[in-house]
Chains A and B, each alone.
Chain A
Amino acid sequence: MNLISRGTSAVACAASLLLAAGPLTGAVGVEAAGGADIRLAGSGASFPAPFYKRLVAEYQQLHPNILIDYASIGSGGGIKNITDKTVDFAGSDAPMSKKELEAAGGSDNLIEIPSCAGGVVPTYNLPGVKGDIRFTGELLADIYMGKVTRWNDRAIASLNHGLSLPDTAITPVWRTDGSGTTFIFTNYLATQSEEFTSTIGMGKQVKWPLGQGGKGNEGVTAVVQKTPGALGYVEQGYADNNDLAYGYVQNRDGNMVKASPESVSMAGAGAVSQMSGAILAADIWNQPGSDAYPIASFTYLIVYRDLNNLESKQEAQALVDFLWWATHEGQKFAEELDYAPLAEPVQKKVEGALRMLTYKGERLNVGQ
């Protein structure tokens, strides 16, 4: 088990980040010596971890006296840690369930905000096929249920006029480890096929009836790349960084859309009417919008609504400032790392939620 130690590991981690900051290092020494440093710890989802680590590193350069540590131990671990109050904030790919909210003191006790969105793309290995393949959600569900088994099946050919598809067996590839990626993918497919919902269902981990598994995005990619005819699903950022071929997916409006930070952001904007209050959980798969990419999801940051689990008001203020920065200026790093930044209407909802934060009943300065 990966436990968060607020002591040495946070310091060591922060120290290495500060060294990376270069010219600022000297100034940091002075501030730290003044005893002004604040330490914040977070843990949870691994899907947004590269984004959070970047946020923390950039924030450290701006505020050398605030040391933040994010451990990517998985969404389940993050929720457990925030429930036990061993961390100050948690990251989770799936919104907290009713039961999890209750365990942490009820939905009035917490704030859950999206930090960015991510898309999941169908990637495939078809040597000799030029051009991107077009999919519908129903087709993807049928492939993963074993109802469409060959690439030259009519169901695929009718969507892809002009592409000559080989008579190769389709090997569906999936994640063997529990993951937010599987959560998004299965939840989307469930909106497209009732049979999928009742035979495979949705979750971070499901029982697939056929195909091959890989551990992590890299494991799925490895299996896809060495299996001609394989079809897998990976995060869009991962697919872009590794130059994987991936296809278009038909969205709710009937348009074929390729995943990109913009098209995933559009999906987030489409869900804004579902969001209100402090728990800003919204399902953003299969959203309306002509350019919205359909296989998308938010990833969330969770904190207590009253930050009395922190040691001082100063610490609570630092956490609020960081959250505000992460969901505003920090969003530009999301796009750099191929996550989808929050659309403006979503950002407005996040601001509303952050304004509810207090420390032992006292108001905190938000957004200044």
Chain B
Amino acid sequence: MAGLARMGAVSILMMLAALLVVLSIAAWPSIEEYGLKFLVSTDWRPNELNVPMKDAAGRVIIEDGEVVMETIPPSFGALPVIYGTAVSSLLALLIAVPLSFGAALFLVRLCPRRLIGSISFLVEFLAAIPSIAYGMWGLFVLGPVMQNYIEPGLHAALSWIPGVNAWLFEDTVRRGSTVVTSEIPLTGSDMFTGGVVLAIMILPIITAISRDVLKNVPRAQIEGTLALGATWWQSSWEMLRYSRSALFGAVMLGLARASGETMAITMVIGNNNQINPSLFAPAQTMSSLLANEFAEASTEIHRAALCEVALILLIMSLLFNVVARWLVVGKGSRTAAAF
């Protein structure tokens, strides 16, 4: 039987290794072609372009009365999706972390004993909802509310602040020599809505782990702060400070979930491969890019570029998880039960 268990453990490791190997092989043409430029280029154009060939002086070359055309190969750069993943995940953390810590403190310190079970169950139940359900809710319920109430409300409330209007609500495009400024249409399918949906999705995991972490703060520690005359808030703050590395781990696990989330984010983020500083402009994450493009990617280099994005995403989530586990399990020994 021990052999069987060992085989189970080994096969899981082998699956992970196989994933990395297979993705790396599939991504190889793109890695070879673009190298490190892949990580910093913002150009994502899967089609070839036929453009008139130009000489050194920038004049169009004409031979035998016909314009000589040249083919520009497709070009792939992952920076917009890396940016999209980073910003949407950070936005989600910004919203979810205070709420989760608050909920965890409530469950540990304030909640009447008979309610703890049902409230914990409800929070954990949020984690069991399939992500497509969050996506549909985001598209059909949250999206219109964002578009018609919250975003216009934020516009009205914030746009008087110098710089904010240009940052959040306007788009400036340079077309040749003219600079065109246009209002960003508020559609409810944008980075902001994406961040809010992600926040709701990562709330349960951060809440559940922080609750277990806070429960394990030694009684003496809490009583000590109270004996020194700390208020409720001050002693709560001490509890958070005492378990900060484990809480940080909980946040990292939330981040790992947010950055890999696919179905829901694809439905609400607007799916536009661009880096736009405004939170109300459509964006794209690594996972939504894959969901959008993989099915019809017909050239080898396009598929390879998508596989490279998947590889980056896999390595990133691995890192988040390793750091998180090290912080939660490795340092605060008793909180291992949280997993």
Please report A residues at the B interface, Cβ cutoff 8 Å.
46, 73-77, 79, 94, 100, 146, 149, 169, 171, 176-179, 186, 197-207, 209-210, 212-215, 219, 222-223, 226-227, 229-230
CB contact under 8 A between A177 and B296, given known A146-B173, A203-B47, A210-B173: yes
Q: Which of B6-14, B48-56, B118-126 is the interface stretch?
A: B48-56
* In-complex Cβ contact of B295 among A76, A94, A200, A203 (8 A): A76
Chain B 28-57, CB-CB to A under 8 Å as 1, else 0, gives: 000000000000000111111111100000
Q: CB-nearest residue of chain A relative to B183?
A: A169
Q: Which of B161-169, B185-193, B207-215 is the interface stretch?
A: B185-193
CB contact under 8 A between A215 and B271, given known A201-B50, A227-B185: yes
**Complex Cα gap A79–B266 (Å):** 26
Q: CB-nearest residue of chain B relative to A171?
A: B185
The reply to whether B185 and A76 contact each other, CB–CB distance below 8 Å, is no
Nearest chain A CB to B60's CB is how many angstroms away? Answer: 10
Q: CB-nearest residue of chain B relative to A147?
A: B175
The reply to whether B295 and A77 contact each other, CB–CB distance below 8 Å, is yes
* In-complex Cβ contact of B46 among A206, A212, A215, A223 (8 A): A206
The reply to whether B292 and A215 contact each other, CB–CB distance below 8 Å, is yes
Residues of A close to B284: CB separation below 8 A:
176
**Complex Cα gap A203–B46 (Å):** 8
Nearest chain B CB to A336's CB is how many angstroms away? Answer: 26
* In-complex Cβ contact of B144 among A198, A203, A226, A229 (8 A): A226
* In-complex Cβ contact of A226 among B183, B188, B273 (8 A): B188
Nearest chain A CB to B54's CB is how many angstroms away? Answer: 11
**Complex Cα gap A201–B75 (Å):** 13
Residue in A73, A212, A219, A230 whose Cβ sees the most chain B Cβ within 10 Å: A212
Q: CB-nearest residue of chain B relative to A210?
A: B173
**Complex Cα gap A203–B284 (Å):** 20
Q: CB-nearest residue of chain A relative to B186?
A: A227
Q: List 13 A–B pairs whose Cβ atoms lie within 8 Å, in order of A's numbering.
A: A76-B298, A77-B295, A100-B298, A171-B185, A177-B292, A178-B296, A198-B51, A201-B47, A204-B47, A206-B47, A209-B173, A213-B272, A215-B271
B282 close to A (CB within 8 Å):
yes
CB contact under 8 A between A205 and B271, given known A198-B49, A210-B173: no
The reply to whether B295 and A177 contact each other, CB–CB distance below 8 Å, is yes
The reply to whether A169 and B46 contact each other, CB–CB distance below 8 Å, is no
The reply to whether B185 and A205 contact each other, CB–CB distance below 8 Å, is no
The reply to whether A204 and B282 contact each other, CB–CB distance below 8 Å, is no
Residues of B close to A202: CB separation below 8 A:
47
**Complex Cα gap A197–B72 (Å):** 12
The reply to whether A75 and B296 contact each other, CB–CB distance below 8 Å, is yes
The reply to whether B293 and A226 contact each other, CB–CB distance below 8 Å, is no
Chain B 277-288, CB-CB to A under 8 Å as 1, else 0, gives: 000001010000
- Docked complex: B284-325 residues within 8 A CB-CB of A: 284, 291-293, 295-298
Nearest chain A CB to B178's CB is how many angstroms away? Answer: 11
Provide the main secondary structure of the chain B interface: mixed
**Complex Cα gap A177–B267 (Å):** 12
The reply to whether A76 and B175 contact each other, CB–CB distance below 8 Å, is no
**Complex Cα gap A287–B143 (Å):** 41
**Complex Cα gap A227–B183 (Å):** 13
Nearest chain A CB to B213's CB is how many angstroms away? Answer: 39
Residues of B close to A215: CB separation below 8 A:
266-267, 271, 291-292
The reply to whether A177 and B293 contact each other, CB–CB distance below 8 Å, is yes
B216 close to A (CB within 8 Å):
no
CB contact under 8 A between A205 and B282, given known A178-B296, A215-B266: no
Q: CB-nearest residue of chain A relative to B52?
A: A198
**Complex Cα gap A77–B297 (Å):** 8
CB contact under 8 A between A73 and B295, given known A206-B47, A214-B271: yes
Chain B 71-84, CB-CB to A under 8 Å as 1, else 0, gives: 00000000000000
Residues of A close to B46: CB separation below 8 A:
178, 203-207
Nearest chain A CB to B310's CB is how many angstroms away? Answer: 12
B147 close to A (CB within 8 Å):
yes
The reply to whether A204 and B180 contact each other, CB–CB distance below 8 Å, is no
Nearest chain B CB to A126's CB is how many angstroms away? Answer: 14
Nearest chain A CB to B235's CB is how many angstroms away? Answer: 48
Residue in B44, B291, B292 whose Cβ sees the most chain A Cβ within 10 Å: B292
The 10 closest A-B CB pairs, nearest first, are A178-B296, A203-B47, A76-B298, A74-B295, A176-B271, A207-B45, A198-B51, A201-B49, A74-B296, A177-B292
The reply to whether B296 and A76 contact each other, CB–CB distance below 8 Å, is yes
**Complex Cα gap A24–B311 (Å):** 51
The reply to whether A76 and B297 contact each other, CB–CB distance below 8 Å, is yes
